[in-house]
Amino acid sequence: MFLFNENLPPIRILGVDPGLRVTGYGVVDHRQGRLSLVEAGVIRTRSSQSIAERLRIIHEGLSDLIKETEPGVLALEKLYSDYRHPTTAILMGHARGVICLTAGETGIPLANLPSTRVKKAILSHGHAGKDQIGRAIQGMLDIKHPIRPADVTDALAVAVSYALTRKKEL
């Protein structure tokens, strides 16, 4: 069993990978230096839906998840996009904004993590590939099969990296 930060108080962490079409989420408990998977999945929208409808679905899905799982913190990867794809950044910003609003509405502290910090916390270097991260998360959470889709892996990676790097205070 993977142990770390044994002296910290227990916490349930909701990691979110924002997306307008697929928003991945992963809920993990960090108790007595151990990580355990609580729940993971996706909130899906359809491209045929209006932007307002898609954002409402993300908001409602995340709100319901928060009510069901009662996390102590919502960990979210900071927005990064390539300058050659500004539309992608804007659309991602819409989804990310709704996620931040949902955290604020429910009173859950929000932790913004840069992608390099997420990768470095899990594999000790900031430029790991998705497959490497996926295998590491699988091992850390004792999951027997590959995690699909990648949005779930990314969300779990954010949650796990928060657990690995958190301090006593939120």
Let me know if 77 is a catalytic residue.
Answer: yes
Let me know if 151 is a catalytic residue.
Answer: yes
Distance CA 112, CA 100 (A): 10
CB 34 within 8 A of CB 1: yes
Distance CA 121, CA 5 (A): 13
Return the structure tokens found at 104.
């604020």
Distance CA 50, CA 71 (A): 30
| Catalytic option among 6, 17, 105, 169 | 17
| Catalytic option among 29, 53, 64, 77 | 77
CB 26 within 8 A of CB 159: yes
Let me know if 17 is a catalytic residue.
Answer: yes
Distance CA 166, CA 170 (A): 8
Q: So which residues are the catalytic ones?
A: 17, 77, 151
